[in-house]
Amino acid sequence: MGNPRLFLYGVFFLLVFMLWQQWQIENTIPADSTRTEQPETPKQNNENTGQNSDIPEAAKSTAGLATLSPGNKKPAALVSATTDVLALTIDTKGGDVVASKLLAYPETTDVDSRPVQLFQNEEHLYIAQSGLLHDKVGEQSKAAEAPNHNNIYAYKKKNYALSSGENTIKVPLFWKSPTGVVVKKTYILKRGSFLVEVVYEVKNNSKNKWVGRQYRQLKRGGVRDEEKSYFLITYTGAAYFDDTYTKLAFEDMEKSSLSKNIEGGWAAVLQHHFVSAWVTANNEETNLYYTKAVGDDLGGKKYIIGLRSPAQEILPGETKIFRSFLYTGPKEQEKLAQISPGLDLTVDYGIFTFIAQPLFWLLSNIYSAVNNWGWSIIFVTILIKLLFYKLSETSYRSMAKMRKFTPRMQVLRERYGDDKQKLNKAMMEMYKKEKINPLGGCWPILVQIPVFISLYWVLLESVELRQAPFMLWLNDLSSKDPYFVLPLLMGITMFIQQKLNPTPPDPIQAKVMSVLPIVFTIFFAFFPSGLVLYWFVNNLLSIAQQWVIIKRLDA
């Protein structure tokens, strides 16, 4: 078997794999027996009623929840909290996070580029909601006994900023029921961190026992057109962790809803390079994880993933704390792993994660020495080439022999014509006599395909390479080459490799192989330059190795 055909098979395998991944993202419904039809939610005394309510169910015995705080008639306002890396905007209606800007991550490489914004209370809604639910049993009170995300909080000031010498910002919000239940909701931000602590301090000054629980949820519109790509297959959607990393596409939420008790864990919404997640403060606490698809006034759909805590009893005069964490930031694996088990899996390397993670570790350690991601890719490519040197040598030696005997094989084809049986017998006799293994070039290449796919996902998914400069005009290894120089050079190396390989005896296959460098040059023109750099360097090393082997055999 000649190398051109094997190379074509390898490329075909890679493209089929990528298309399969995209099909999985867009069409597959996870098989989860715990997902049931969306339960009926009790009607709320607000604009969100019935099936479209975005307030989770408190308990089976829960009656209507009031949405206005009688003790606070002020209109809602926006409160800002800014650290060195994160800028949050908190709406006093519900105390929700309606905007989050990642100050260290600009949208583009332009000098005046604005920072990446995850949460936004705009046309494409994406917010972090949280609140308390009062379990009302027996005689119902018409007054609100717990603030959900429709209640309005009181606040001290509108702007909080981290000053020099400070490491923490605390943003307190206040709510009080007519019966005397006092709630203080506090956002705690720290220097250099994208993790925000959210604390509810509930003091029961009423005459009756208070029973309630907290809920936390992420609410977002569907996948935007600018988030879709036919060249870069990335996932935008929800996910949760229950000892297993599970993705939930927004489309799946419309078909069925999640309702599952999970100990610890987290619920998240993912996009390329960034993630937002609600994380439990106690890994031993069991929460109800749920999803919903709700309509809006414009006829669009909003998707919710959240978790609801167990109920707590607070006797008259007692105070208790509800605590959780909100992460909104980049997918930095080491930091995510420290926050909660499995959160680092949101950096999704696919089925070859067990290969991709060591590759990323190697890439990161080389970067710490050379301080340039482009050179890190080059050195990793060299190391991978050295690792498979013997396998590649076997493959190239077999191809070189096949190339040397191509004229003799052509003579055999002309001699036997359409008699396939005699042709195959004659070729096998020649292979045996000349000690040629026609499959010698196959297995070494097939073994390397999982490594290539793994490195592809590492370069595509790792936020560390986002907007990482290399040299000269390549100022962003995560985006395409603006002048298409690197794809053109890669195409040239493919053409040279083709000339070193045996010419396919089949005329149709030969024509296909002749245009393959052109097709791949066009195809790779839209790939991140980091991936093209890997392929280009790998081709250069392969050409050098093939040339040496051919010269040795010729000698």
Cβ atoms of 385 and 538 closer than 8 Å: yes
Distance CA 182, CA 203 (A): 5
Cβ atoms of 300 and 289 closer than 8 Å: no
In 406-441, which ranges are continuous DSSP H helix? 406-416, 420-434
Distance CA 218, CA 238 (A): 9
Cβ atoms of 254 and 51 closer than 8 Å: no
Distance CA 480, CA 520 (A): 14
SS3 state at 375? helix
pLDDT the model gives residue 67 = 37
- DSSP for 162-205, please give it: PPTT--EEEEEEEEE-TTSEEEEEEEEEETT--EEEEEEEEEE-
pTM: 0.79
Distance CA 224, CA 222 (A): 6
Cβ atoms of 145 and 212 closer than 8 Å: yes
Domains defined for the chain, CATH in brackets: 3-18+357-554 (no CATH), 31-348 (2.70.98.90)
Do strands 78-82 and 159-161 pair parallel, antiparallel, or not at all (unpaired)? parallel
pLDDT per residue as tens, the chain (555 positions)? 334 444 444 555 555 544 444 444 334 333 333 333 333 333 333 333 344 567 777 655 433 333 334 444 567 799 999 999 999 999 999 999 999 999 999 988 888 889 999 999 877 899 999 999 988 654 445 457 899 999 999 999 999 999 888 999 999 999 999 889 999 999 999 999 999 999 999 999 988 899 999 999 999 988 876 666 656 678 899 999 998 999 999 988 988 889 999 999 999 999 989 999 999 988 888 999 999 998 765 557 899 999 999 999 999 999 999 999 999 999 999 999 999 999 999 998 888 888 999 999 999 999 999 999 999 999 999 998 888 877 777 666 666 666 666 667 667 777 776 777 777 777 777 777 766 665 555 666 677 778 878 888 888 888 988 888 898 888 888 888 889 999 999 999 988 887 776 666 566 766 777 788 888 888 888 888 888 898 899 889 888 887 877 777 666
Query: Hey, what are 272's tokens?
Result: 């390329």
Residues 6+ apart with CB under 8 A from 502: 2, 3, 4, 399, 402, 403, 406
pLDDT the model gives residue 364 = 92
Vertex 383: Cα angle to 448 and 474 (nearest 5): 95
Please tell me what DSSP assigns to residue 158: S
pLDDT the model gives residue 457 = 86
pLDDT the model gives residue 439 = 57
Contacts of the segment 72-76: beta carbons below 8 A, 24+ positions apart = 72/151, 72/152, 72/153, 72/154, 72/175, 72/176, 74/152, 74/154, 75/152, 76/152
pLDDT the model gives residue 420 = 72
User: In DSSP terms, which residues pair with 181 in a beta bridge?
Assistant: 204
Distance CA 239, CA 23 (A): 17
Do strands 312-314 and 210-221 pair parallel, antiparallel, or not at all (unpaired)? antiparallel
Which of 130, 131, 132 is closest to 119 using CA atoms? 130
Contacts of the segment 195-199: beta carbons below 8 A, 24+ positions apart = 195/279, 195/325, 195/326, 195/327, 195/329, 195/339, 196/86, 196/88, 196/97, 196/325, 196/326, 196/327, 196/328, 197/323, 197/324, 197/325, 198/130, 198/323, 198/324, 198/325, 198/326, 199/321, 199/322, 199/323
Please tell me what DSSP assigns to residue 463: G
pLDDT the model gives residue 43 = 35
Distance CA 313, CA 318 (A): 9
pLDDT the model gives residue 308 = 95
Type of residue at 524: F
pLDDT the model gives residue 97 = 96
Vertex 478: Cα angle to 477 and 482 (nearest 5): 70
Rg, C-alpha atoms of the chain: 30
For residue 91, report the phi and psi dihedrals to the nearest 5 degrees. -85, 130
- DSSP for 91-131, please give it: ETBTTEEEEEEEEEEESSSSTTPPEEEEEE-SSS-EEEEEE
